[in-house]
Structure 1
């Protein structure tokens, strides 16, 4: 049979296959489209369809194009469970986080997706609601039910089962937290070390009466930043005044700033994030305290540049995309690898909100 006649026969087969299916792609005679359906419509063997679906090279370009065209027309989707059985991998990683809209989570996700894209992996995500009782075992169980090879769990607040948590057998599990775990690798920005950067900078400008504004008391990030502040003061024999806590928003920072403005002994404020720091600065100035002439202010996360045209706030910048990349790389490692505690240092970004103590 010559090529022209083969083409006519093939076109008839494809038309017949398409006319036999319902109005919705991916459904064929009341069921999901199979490799057998594609093989019949394309006039090839199921083995050839399998090779095309799995990217095996030993198929001619012309045949591959024909099979791909039929797959597209019929709405065929490869069976990833079957692919996993054959290749031993889904080439996918699971991610579980609280509130993906937070700046840190979004930027970390960008790093995870970039790393996954480079490796030809997919990312499957589930989001825990703020009012859900958070447990690592439950997050792990939910992720293990999905077609993933490894999992990443964001732990912005302490999980009650953290000390006793055991990861799923044969599945690499990474927890995003400052706490080390004996059975899982943990990766995070160095929320304790960033305080040393801030405090040494303020000490170098002569400040000693340095107040701390923390985030919510349940926040692990805020907890470690506060610990670094306390230890830095203790190292110099300076008593720490009890910190005030906000909810990460500029409004809460503003309310705290109004209270701090009455503290005449204070010469500097270390704020646990930039959003609250902006509110603190507004309140101090409104109450007649000049920044930085009377009070120096430092924040954490260097997140204002995208929102404020002229950023004056000295801050610590974390490479959250790099954190996402490292989280992904550990999630695709052999689950038998010895767990690590990876801490990514920040960088102090000096601007005009800090001056020498008067």
Structure 2
């Protein structure tokens, strides 16, 4: 079977009635081409099925206009939202993205992810830090590949950005205590999660700042069933009138568990979640939650890496945490009234 012949710039030039140099300018996005000429060349490209040689373009211009994105888990709600924001920002600036997932065992390190990404045609990379890696504090990005890490914890080696997990917990605790609750119980996410760990620390610190000792903590796995089991157990905690769950799925599960054990929400127990992920999925949603600005996180991460790719210096070692927004619905009772 004969392979189809490759369409060249000369073929497009002949079809459009222009010079190969004009075709090159159009293919490279140059503004020095009249709009009607550009349209004629692009029409010829579509007709002939011409595909620009991006490898040759990279050799000429020094960039691929492609950003690598590394993730631990592509199914998590926040990660999907962040990836969508990165992809949208990349498209707006003429970039593409290349996806890579971090492996298991010895491959589950930033260094391993960098080594794999360096083999691909990318100009820089963004790492979404779902879990802590053994080399996070010691990791040094290569000089020829800018790296941005989505993490609340700053590092001196590369720029970081993430949601303000500590601030999120502090807002929830203060809100519930200001509504007359004497303490706040917590359903945490898995211990391997950086976000879950930071929310736990924020919860504990917020209670300590109000002179309170944190009550027993329940640990889930981000899924609603684990929240349900925690809700069943919390229903038997005599002093429990307020529950802070580390995500909305566990919060919704906790509400069902509390109700199954004979507790009313919010009359007996108030519940707050995090991420506002159930809107449009659960009808008549009454869950008060902390809405994370995943879109801004993704856009800022892309901006940081793009600016480095284009020669700009971006500060490292700076905590860049984007605040969450409290969304009040109907799952919290005000005990001061």
Q: Which runs of 5 or more structure 2 residues have no equivalent in the other structure?
A: none
Task: State yes or no: 1:333 paired with 2:307.
Answer: yes
**C-alpha displacement at 1:70, in angstroms?**
4.7
What SS class does the counterpart of residue 263 from structure 2 fall into?
Answer: coil
Task: State yes or no: 1:343 paired with 2:317.
Answer: no
Which is further off, 39-48 or 69-78?
39-48
| Distance (whole Å) between structure 1 residues aligned to residue 91 and residue 39 of structure 2 | 24
Out of 142, 158, 171, which is 1:184 matched to? 158
| Distance (whole Å) between structure 2 residues aligned to residue 145 and residue 45 of structure 1 | 35
**C-alpha displacement at 1:305, in angstroms?**
1.3
Which is further off, 302-311 or 195-204?
302-311
Listed one character per residue, the Cα deviations across residues 292-343 of structure 1 (whole Å, up to 9, x for unaligned) are: 1211111111112121121211111111111111111111112643223310
Out of 327, 334, 337, which is 1:356 matched to? 334
Task: State yes or no: 1:275 paired with 2:275.
Answer: no
**C-alpha displacement at 1:33, in angstroms?**
3.9
Task: State yes or no: 1:55 paired with 2:33.
Answer: no
What is aligned with 1:257? 231
What is aligned with 2:270? 296
What SS class does the counterpart of residue 320 from structure 2 fall into?
Answer: strand
Q: Which runs of 5 or more structure 1 residues have no equivalent in the other structure?
A: 1-21
Contact 1:211 1:270 (8 Å CA) reproduced: yes
What is aligned with 1:286? 260
Contact 1:267 1:357 (8 Å CA) reproduced: no
Out of 146, 149, 168, which is 1:175 matched to? 149
Contact 1:35 1:50 (8 Å CA) reproduced: yes
In the TM superposition, 1:241-256 aligns within 5 A as 241-256=215-230
Out of 198, 204, 210, which is 2:178 matched to? 204
In the TM superposition, 1:1-358 aligns within 5 A as 27-28=4-5, 32-36=6-10, 38=12, 46-58=20-32, 67-128=41-102, 133-334=107-308, 336-339=313-316, 340-357=318-335
**C-alpha displacement at 1:277, in angstroms?**
0.5
Which is further off, 168-177 or 71-80?
71-80
**C-alpha displacement at 1:249, in angstroms?**
0.8
From the superposition, tell whether residues 272 and 55 of structure 1 become closer, same or farther in structure 2 (CA, over 3 Å). Answer: closer
| Distance (whole Å) between structure 2 residues aligned to residue 174 and residue 199 of structure 1 | 31
Contact 1:99 1:129 (8 Å CA) reproduced: no
| Distance (whole Å) between structure 2 residues aligned to residue 94 and residue 79 of structure 1 | 19
| Distance (whole Å) between structure 1 residues aligned to residue 37 and residue 334 of structure 2 | 74
In our comparison, the structure showing a higher alpha carbon Rg is: 1
What SS class does the counterpart of residue 278 from structure 1 fall into?
Answer: helix
**C-alpha displacement at 1:35, in angstroms?**
3.4
Contact 2:304 2:314 (8 Å CA) reproduced: no
From the superposition, tell whether residues 282 and 49 of structure 1 become closer, same or farther in structure 2 (CA, over 3 Å). Answer: same
From the superposition, tell whether residues 268 and 47 of structure 1 become closer, same or farther in structure 2 (CA, over 3 Å). Answer: same
Listed one character per residue, the Cα deviations across residues 180-238 of structure 1 (whole Å, up to 9, x for unaligned) are: 11011111011110011000001101212321100111011110110011111222332
Contact 2:159 2:314 (8 Å CA) reproduced: no
| Distance (whole Å) between structure 2 residues aligned to residue 269 and residue 58 of structure 1 | 61
Listed one character per residue, the Cα deviations across residues 25-84 of structure 1 (whole Å, up to 9, x for unaligned) are: xx41xxx44435555776765434323322335557776566545533443321212212
**C-alpha displacement at 1:156, in angstroms?**
0.6
Which is further off, 329-338 or 345-354?
329-338
